[in-house]
Amino acid sequence: MKKNRRRLLFVGLSILLLSSSMLGVFFPLAGKSEAASVKKEVPYASATGVKKHPQREAWVFSKNPTATTTISEDAGANNKIQKIVFYRGDQEVRSIDVNAQTFNQTISFNGKKHEVTSKENGSAGSYFAWSRGETGEYRNWYASGEGDTWRTLGTISDEEVTTEDINGVDYRKFPGKKIQMTVKYARTKAFYGDIDGARLSFETSFIDDRSNIIHGQNPTTPSTERVTDDRQQDVETGNLSITGRSDTSTEIIQILAGLEKGAIDGPTRSLDFATITFNQNHYRAGYKYYIRQNNTADMVEYNVNNKKAQAMVYYYAAYNYTYSSFSYQYPDHYEIFTDNGVTNPDPPGSSCTITDGRVIEGEKMNPNASAVIKADQRDREMFDVLLGIPTSESLYGNVLANNYLHQYKFQEKVGVCKYDLTVSRDYTLTWDPGKPNPNGNGRLPDPQSAPDSKDYPIHVERTLSYWVVDKLGVYSIDSAELKNYAFNGEKITIHPAGYVPPIVSLTREGKYVPDPGPGNYSAPHKTVPGGTTMPSIPPGESTELQALTESKIAQVKVNNDTVVFNGQTLMNGSVVDKKTQDPTRVPDPTTISRDVLYSPGNMIPNSKINKQSQASSGTITYKPLSANYNAAPGDTYPIGGINPVTVHTPVVNYSSASDDQAHNQKTTPNYSRMAFILDRPFTVTIPTNGQHLNYPGYGNRDYAKYFKSKEVYFPFDVYSGDKSTFYPKNTWINIPVPQLTTEFFLPVWVDEGDYIVHYRNIAENAPDVRPTQQDANFDLINHVASDTVNVEVIGRLYDFHITDIADYNWEMVFRTQAGSLTPTGNSYWTGLLGIDGAARGNRQPFTLPILPGKNPLEGTKNVSVKTGYHVKFDLKTKGNMFSKQDGIRITPSFTFVTRDGKTKTPVDLYYNDDHRTFIKVGSPEDTEKRFVILNDRLRNVPEEELTDTARYKYDNYYTFAEMNGVSRDLFIADYIRRFTKEKTPVGGFNLMLLPEQIRTFIGPKANLPGSVDNARANAAIQKWYGQYSLPGEPYVVKSGTNLAEYSRTNGALTKRDPIFLKDGYIVLNFNIESIKNGNLSQPHLQYINAPLMNQWTMEGYNRSVQDSWGRTFTLKDGDIVFYNADKSYKDDFQAEVTH
């Protein structure tokens, strides 16, 4: 029986082994762990540019056509990597047979090329602005940037473009130019590509930007497939709230993708713009507007019924262009197939089967990032960057995001270890059949025993459960990048400050350790008693031995991988029986504090021109922690919704000029213009403060910080205030920005008349000095604020003095000796002060009026001037008093004053001539003519004056034909010898007009700037010579007396009639005016009676004077001589002679 049992046992084992071999195809053999494959993301170095597509994170792309990856894998001891397979999406692209425990290789891939295209770009368009101004420099249309972004191809004539008359000046209606422009148009639409049926947008970081690729995909020769002129698009004009459409004359010449005009083609090109060169005719069909005065005013279309010199005209261009290139797709994951050795040796007779159980996984890979770019300082922002911020001000960038990202997968491993063993037990079977008793009484004991044994197959199972990390990726903040035009370099990088990254540790020691078990063993011997027959092994033995075996096999020892996150144990690696503790999920991130990614003090360079609402973008980069396992590397994520920034550097211009009213002698002042007086200083004030836009940080304040320069433009010559520097007319003069007021000096040769002084304040970021805007650069296109001041250049009338008195009692006052021609140099001036009120240098008694006490000679205490004697005088003018029709009008008037000075009465004068009596001065009968000889022997006019005057007259008063071949030298000699010694009529007793014949030119001749006409400068100061006398024996009556009526009622008149005033003085008074161009009805300047000033007073005239006896006389401006009413020139002769 035992043999049979053994044979059966052998057959059974053979069958079991056969079955085991066959089942091994599907189940691991005893003592082996399961065969497995692991999928991982392909790691690419950042230099390759390969990264996940944000719309399909399973796919990876790069701008580069080739990329490499380094794969390092180790299957562990006793294990073998069978092969590694690479996939691009679902497509297998490469398989590498390994058959080794480790694999370390750098593998190269060629990316799959996909065309990406950006269409319909440039439709936002561009505009070209021409400006027209009032002055000569601006009168024709002007546009900045010529030679840079545009050039003139041709100009049509005024007749072709037509002109318009504005205030007597012809202005071109339109620029009348054919121009070629080169404009950089931003790419405004995203790149798209069709990838395996999916339409994806591509950031430029994914796109091939090599120059040869860009050139090949985007030919420079324009074609309708690549670029078209969009004439239906309304193009915005900055922030002016006006639009226009592409000009019909537009002709596209060239398109350069990603390359600026004239730039050298390098290894790469920009993917963000195309440069389009095109021609346009700016002849007539432009959009024409008035220049608005401030930012709140609307742009108003130009109306031919309301013509203005200052105007703008705009021409527009809009395009739709296509930009194309390639992106390259790469393998995104690989699969490792391993043939594992005996990693957990199973005890003999046992086997463990492990399978995947539950999964705990999650991810927070969206940084939830947001950012702002604002003006410093945070929470106290001076500027609203949406509206405007100047250069030289600083910005801060602030990014908020999750403090970390994570992705993880915790895999439960469940299994069962099976123990199949044989328990043998030996038995002793006992029984007693008895035997016959020889004595016949019953049976005798006959104990029997027999050995037996039996093998029991025992099956024991031990379940197990533990957790391992299948994937763990935790990513800390590396940096953030914000991009905006306003930044230096157009971007800033922000590194975290005060940031504590998460601390993660991973110990990959998750495993199970089964009890080795007892193996096949023999159970304790057992006796099986029977009765009288041999017993069998009892049936319950298997249950007993099962329980016995169970007690010999302990539970499987299991432990997890260990994961500790910021001190919190998420997965506990402690060894336990049978089942480990389930892991805890990775905590979700929280938002960082606002100080972590904060970068203040980013100054806007002054090289940044004004631009409206420049788009912002940003990224944030997270880097992997060293504890990461089987997870993708870190990545960079876009930050959307960042506010734009408007760069607008403000300048204001509220300039002014001094109004020299204190020296303005105009008969009728023009109160709408500032008075600039010849040969005097004046000031201009160019403040840096004033009203700008009512935006935060702008408004009414000082803007000096943003000024590059301040300049003033005079359409006439000027000197610096100290006369050290000469500035020719039409010169822009730079003024130091901190200097509020600047003094200049007006040369005497500048023509009198109306002018406009121009000012411009130039912002530090100005690319050019035009276009400009009045008061402030309210509009972004302007980087210059302008202003104008209307001024009037005005001359002078001054320096009246008496140079000689024909009365013999006064001869030695003016002559060095009796009968001599040599003057003493004495003369009687208005006062002790000069033209501008400074001390002249003369002394008393040489001031007007002349009365007793003014003769400095001994014994002349009671000497005054006798009637009939003339007084010689001269005076000066400055300005344009050099034409043939210019002159000086002197209106005499008369007052009688008693000798004690107590009674003063306006009087009329009468005189007799050879044929008539009692002729009233100023009546129609008063026909007495007065004459002046310029080159009189006692007038002492310097020959240099006469020569200079003759030269000017020769060159300016006569044509060549009029001179009939007479040379200049001959004319000068003849002028001095003959013309100047002729009598020149100047009027009569009641009115004198000093004409050009008794005028000389005494202006400057030395040290003149080279650009100045010397003759014109010399003619700028004029000297007028004259003389006047009362009638020889005047009859003096109270003004308004009807002498004829008196004679009728009182009989014939005699000198002794009481109606005639005696015993006093006739005070001669002059009212002096300048006459320009013969206009007697509108005298130019007043010596005394100007509304704004009195030159007579300026020169120190004293309105109260005492004679030699201490008697006080009250004077009136213009009183020059006290004639003795009781003495005549005839008293100096025994016989009457003609004087």
Say what the pLDDT of residue 632 is: 84
Tell me if 289 sits within 8 A of 260, measured CB to CB. no
At which residue do the structure tokens 């501008």 appear? 836
| pLDDT-based confidence at residue 18 (cuts at 50, 70, 90) | very low
962 or 1116, greater pLDDT: 1116
Residue keyed to tokens 């069909």: 285
Enumerate the domain spans of the chain. Answer: 1-30, 124-186+211-319, 656-794, 797-937+970-1132
Residue 295 has pLDDT above 80, yes or no: no
- 681's tokens: 């200083």
Q: Does the bond joining 773 to the residue before it have cis omega, within 30 degrees of 0?
A: no
Kindly indicate the confidence band of residue 234, based on its pLDDT and cuts at 50, 70 and 90. Answer: confident
| pLDDT 10s digits, 637-655 | 999 999 999 999 999 999 9
Structure tokens of 785?
């604020």
Residues near 267 by beta carbon (within 8 Å), at least 6 away in sequence: 210, 211
Q: Measured between alpha carbons, how far is 34 from 512 in angstroms, rounded to an integer?
A: 13
Nearest to 92 by CA among 337, 343, 359: 337
Q: Which two tokens stand for residue 657?
A: 């000029």
CA distance 486 to 611: 9
What is the rounded average pLDDT of the residues 552-574?
A: 96
Q: Confidence class of residue 564 from pLDDT cuts 50, 70 and 90?
A: very high
pLDDT, residue 1139, reads 38
Separation between Cα atoms, residue 1015 and residue 947, nearest integer Å: 12
Across 73-84, average pLDDT: 88
Residue 78 pLDDT level (bands cut at 50, 70, 90): confident
Cβ neighbours for 586, distance < 8 A, ≥ 6 positions apart = 362, 406, 408, 474, 565, 570
Structure tokens at 211: 């120059």
CA distance 689 to 685: 11
Residue 150's pLDDT is 87
Rounded Cα gap, residues 1139 and 1137, in angstroms: 6
783-824, pLDDT tens digit by residue?
999 999 999 999 999 999 999 999 999 999 999 999 899 999
CA 478 – CA 496 distance, rounded (Å): 7
443-450, long-range: CB < 8 A, 24+ apart: 448/534, 450/534
In Å, how far are 252, 563, 615, 619, 1026 from 640, measured between CA atoms? 36, 34, 11, 8, 89
Can you give the pLDDT at residue 292? 82
Average confidence (pLDDT) over 48-74: 91
Backbone angles phi, psi at 932, to 5 degrees: -135, 135
- The answer, yes or no, to whether residue 636 has pLDDT greater than 50, is yes
**Amino acid 813: pLDDT:** 96
Determine which helix (DSSP H) or strand (DSSP E) holds 216, and give its type and residue range: helix 211-217
| Token pair of 1107 as six digits | 């004679």
Pick 5 or 924 by higher pLDDT.
Answer: 924
- Is the Cβ–Cβ distance between 989 and 910 less than 8 Å? no
Q: Look up residue 489 and give its two tokens.
A: 């370099």
3-state DSSP call for residue 209? coil
Residue 784's identity, in one-letter code, is V
Give the pLDDT band (50/70/90) at residue 346.
low
Quick one: what percent of the chain has pLDDT higher than 70? Answer: 95
Mean pLDDT of 1012-1032: 97
Q: pTM score > 0.85 for this model?
A: no
Q: Is residue 387 within 8 Å of residue 696, measured between CB atoms?
A: yes
Residues in the chain: 1139
The single residue listed with the structure tokens 């797709």 is 329
The pLDDT tens digits of the residues spanning 377-434 come to 999 999 999 999 999 999 999 999 999 999 999 999 999 999 999 999 999 999 999 8
Q: What is the structure's pLDDT at 442?
A: 82
Closest CA to 187 of 258, 246, 238: 258
Nearest Cα to 58, choosing from 326, 411, 329, 367? 329
Residue 181 in this model has a pLDDT that exceeds 50 = yes
Helix (H, G, I), strand (E, B) or coil at 348: coil
Residue 798 forms beta bridges with which residues?
Answer: 876
Q: Is the pLDDT of residue 29 over 70?
A: no
Phi, psi for residue 367 in degrees, rounded to 5: -70, -10
Q: Give the CATH number of domain 656-794.
A: 2.60.40
pLDDT class of 340 with cuts at 50, 70, 90? low
Phi, psi of 20 (to 5 degrees): -60, -40
CA distance 705 to 703: 5
Confidence class of residue 208 from pLDDT cuts 50, 70 and 90?
Answer: very high
Cα end-to-end distance, the chain, whole Å: 193
Closest CA to 560 of 407, 412, 360: 412
Nearest of 1019, 972, 974 to residue 999 by alpha carbon? 1019
- pLDDT at residue 1138, as a whole number: 42
Pairing mode of beta strands 404-431, 521-529: parallel
Q: Is residue 2 pLDDT above 50, yes or no?
A: no
- What is the per-residue pLDDT across 964-1015, written as a single tens digit (0 to 9) for each? 889 999 999 999 999 999 999 999 999 999 999 999 999 999 999 999 999 9
- CA 398, CA 370: separation in Å to the nearest integer? 8
Whether 725 contacts 743, CB under 8 Å:
no
Give the separation between CA 1079 and CA 667, rounded to whole angstroms: 12
| Residue 289 CA: distances (Å) to CA of 136, 243, 285, 303, 311 | 20, 12, 13, 8, 6
Phi/psi-derived region of residue 441, left when phi > 0, alpha when psi is between -120 and 50, beta in every other case: beta
What is the rounded distance in angstroms from the CA atom of residue 975 to the CA atom of residue 668? Answer: 37
Which one has a higher pLDDT value, 574 or 158?
Answer: 574
Each residue's pLDDT tens digit, 869-896: 999 999 999 999 999 999 999 999 999 9
Element of type H or E holding 793: strand 784-794
Residue 136's pLDDT is what? Answer: 56
Tokens of 1010: 């080279």
**Strand 404-431 relative to strand 448-483, pairing:** antiparallel
Alpha helix ranges (H) inside 910-998: 943-956, 960-963, 968-977
Task: Report the alpha-carbon distance of residue 545 to residue 536 in Å, rounded.
Answer: 17
Query: To which residue do tokens 């003090």 refer?
Result: 601
Single-letter amino acid code for the residue at 465: S
